[in-house]
Amino acid sequence: MSVTHARVNHASPKLPIVPLIALLALHTAAALGMAPTAAGQTPATGGQASAAGAGPGPAPPAELVLIHGKVLTVDAADSTAQALAIRDGKIVAIGTSEEILRLVGPATRRIDLNGRTATPGLIDSHAHIADGGLDELYDVGLSDAPSVAEALRRVAAGIALRKPGEWLQGAGWDEGKLAERRYLTAADLDAVSRENPVWLLHTTGHYGVANSAALRLAHITAQTPDPPAGTIDRGADGAPTGVLKESAMNAVVDLIPPPTPEQRRAGILKSIDLLHREGMTAVKDPSIDRPVWDAYRALLSEGKLTERVCVLWYAGTTMKSARAVLEEIEAQPKPPQSLGDGRLLSCGAKIYMDGSGGARTAWLYQPWNKNFNELDAGNSGYPAVDPALYREQVRLFHQAGVHVGTHAIGDRAIDWVVDTYAQVLAETPTLSLRHSIIHANIPSDHAIETMAMLQKKYDAGYPEVQAPFMWWIGDTYAGNFGRERALRLVPLKTFLDKGLLWGGGSDYPVTPLAARYGLWASIERETLKGTYGAHPFGTAEAVDIHAALRSYTIWAARQLFLENRTGSLEVGKDADIAVWDKDPYEIPSRELRNLRCRITIMNGEVVYNADGKSERGKGTHHGQT
């Protein structure tokens, strides 16, 4: 079922092409604090159009121009244009092709869009690109495994390449995608690996399965108690099944040799290449530590960090770990200050309030469901950290002027998080730290009202949500949240109606990295396999493409503290641009997931061209296949 833009009742009207002079005047007025007219533009003052930043006399020629296309600026008026000009990595003019061609000089490079559409480079407000790249390069991939037998075949193939006793890691399996609709178990894995320890991480990252060799190394037996904030899954006889959830994973994961520095850098580069291919120019990588930070710094120094990356440091589960992380954060520039001229930002701290919707460990008021209509009696999940301790951690960072992003899936967890933010902000009313609620899957009415208050009063309380959850892990999610709660999942329309801004994301590698899937899922809300019907989450909370695109551009940029540099195509901003094969504002919403990026420009440099052409030479290049 396709949700048309009209049906959600808040599609923006088509807007006229914005003249170059008007945009230049708007930019100048904004810099001077002048109020725009009712039409969203300052009145043009007449005179010859010129590039921003030019002094008296003719403006210097542009270094790169995009012409003969459609430019979706995602500015405050959602205006459109035909062309734009770039110099020194900045957008210097936007307007008609005729106007932009006046800024062309002998050395100006041209990209003829040939009717194609340019948007701001897309932004992911929550993607573990360092970890995801490692998974892609070094682990057995299971995200598309359709059955237990196929998952085991892939594990067996990986074991054949390893020495006896060497660890094998895999990632991405999801019982909702398996024909058997059940967990993988140690018994399954033992059939293909008795000597080599095996650890397969679930796609959510909140549980996984170990074989018996790995369980022995971790000293996990029927007598091993569940650790705090963790679960050892057990069979009817009390013996571990091999499935370990939340903190119970640590006993196995801590035994696995860590990646080398070279592997970490390779993993990040793998993800950057994928980001470029998907028209994405900025990302927030949460839950990092010092080795990951060092990998980013090394790539920056080598000139290879061709993305904007904002990181959150994992704060741990104690006040001691939080204080240690605060020292790391305070040693770096505070956002919006950055390293590498907007390439690398140490944005703040990450804390986990609860677990997972996939593992049924997130903290709820009412028990979890199973199989959509059944009840997981006695299981309402649990907090990942003592709630009082969490509040002290947030207070520590807030009083130091540090942004906090808190993982919260369940309604009870989300309430605790927003109430904590409200409390510390009332105590110390620091503006614009933009504390966030990561995932915010099923917020209560109280949580939504509190987020609206926090945004309006303190510039804080922003949901960072992943619409692709409803698709990629939607069948598992629907079965666990149940018929009633599923309709409350990812309530984007309610956010919009309440005046809330949110940042879109993927939580890669939980779901695929491409932001086009997020645009599509924000509107369609459709599951991958339709186990409980195509739309168990309903369509009442769908938004249109205009809101969806903002959530993956200018609204996401705010959560990276980069909204003054990127997220919209406006004069004076960095030239971070994606060119698409189709116009996302015009195609049916069901086709958004099939968008294809043709060109990606980051800071004025072409970092991806689907045609394989270099844009460094003179002349005209066509963004066409």
DSSP assignment of 204-235:
TSSEEEE-HHHHHHTT--TTPPPPTTEEEEE-
Q: Which of 276, 277, 275 has the alpha carbon at shortest distance from 285?
A: 275
Q: What is the pLDDT of residue 355?
A: 98
Mean pLDDT by 10 residues, the chain (625 residues): 30 37 36 30 29 60 98 98 98 98 97 98 98 97 97 98 97 97 98 97 97 98 97 96 98 98 98 98 98 98 98 98 98 97 98 98 98 97 98 98 98 98 98 98 98 98 98 98 97 98 98 98 98 97 98 98 98 98 98 98 98 51 35
What is the rounded CA–CA span in Å between residue 42 and residue 28?
9
DSSP assignment of 341-362:
TTTEEEEEEEEE-S--TTTT-S
What is the rounded CA–CA span in Å between residue 607 and residue 465?
27
Q: What is the pLDDT of residue 58?
A: 75
Q: What is the pLDDT of residue 331?
A: 97
CB-count exposure of residue 572 (10 Å: 0-12, 13-18, 19+)? middle
Q: How many CB atoms lie within 10 A of CB 330?
A: 12
Q: What is the pLDDT of residue 613?
A: 60
Q: What pTM does this model have?
A: 0.90
Fold of the domain built from segment(s) 129-253: Diaminopimelate Epimerase; Chain A, domain 1 (3.10.310)
What is the rounded CA–CA span in Å between residue 469 and residue 482?
15
Residue 619 · residue 110 · CB < 8 Å:
yes
Q: Which of 292, 161, 185 has the alpha carbon at shortest distance from 236?
A: 185
Q: Which two tokens stand for residue 217?
A: 């190394």
Alpha-carbon dihedral 553, 286, 300, 271, rounded to 10 degrees = -70
DSSP assignment of 5-43:
TGGGT-PPPP-PBPPHHHHHHHHHHHHHTPPP-TTSSPP
Widest pairwise Cα distance in the chain: 85
What is the rounded CA–CA span in Å between residue 310 and residue 559?
9
Q: Would you give the DSSP letter of residue 592?
A: G
Q: What is the pLDDT of residue 614?
A: 46
What is the rounded CA–CA span in Å between residue 296 and residue 562?
18
Q: Which run of H or of E encompasses 549?
A: helix 545-551
What is the rounded CA–CA span in Å between residue 481 and residue 366?
10
Q: Which two tokens stand for residue 24?
A: 């230049």
Say which CATH architecture domain 6-121+572-622 belongs to. Answer: Roll (2.30)
Q: What is the pLDDT of residue 32?
A: 27
Q: Where are the domains of the chain?
A: 6-121+572-622, 129-253
Q: What is the pLDDT of residue 14?
A: 35
